[in-house]
Amino acid sequence: MTCWSCYPRTAVYVGTEGKRLAWAEMNLAQRKMHMRREILPRAAKLFRQWRPERFSTIDCRLCHGKGQQTDNFGMPTAHLPRLSGKLLLGPEFEKHPETTRLKLERLVPMMSEALGLRSFSIITRTGFGCYSCHLGPDGPKFGN
Residues 54-83 close enough to bind ligand HEC by CB under 6 A: 60, 62-64, 73-75, 80-81, 83
Check: CB of residue 135 under 8 Å from CB of residue 82: yes
CA distance 61 to 127: 23
Residue (1 or 29) nearer to ligand HEC, CB: 29
| Candidate list 8, 22, 32, 106; residue touching ligand HEC; CB under 6 A | 32
Please compute, for residue 115, the number of CA atoms within 13 A of its CA located in the half-sphere on the CB side. Answer: 21
Shortest Cβ 107–ligand HEC spacing (Å)? 5
CA distance 5 to 49: 29
22 binding ligand HEC? (CB under 6 A): no
Own/partner contacts of 123-131, CB < 8 Å, gap of 24 or more, are 125/87, 130/83, 130/89, 130/92, 130/103, 130/104, 131/76, 131/83
| Candidate list 10, 21, 38, 89; residue touching ligand HEC; CB under 6 A | 89
CA distance 34 to 45: 16
Residue (19 or 98) nearer to ligand HEC, CB: 98
| Candidate list 12, 13, 38, 129; residue touching ligand HEC; CB under 6 A | 129
| Candidate list 100, 106, 118, 119; residue touching ligand HEC; CB under 6 A | 100
Positive or negative, the CA dihedral 21, 140, 99, 120 is: positive
Q: Interface residues with ligand HEC (CB under 6 A)?
A: 28, 31-32, 35-36, 39-40, 43, 60, 62-64, 73-75, 80-81, 83, 89, 92, 96, 99-100, 103-104, 107-108, 111, 115, 128-130, 132-134
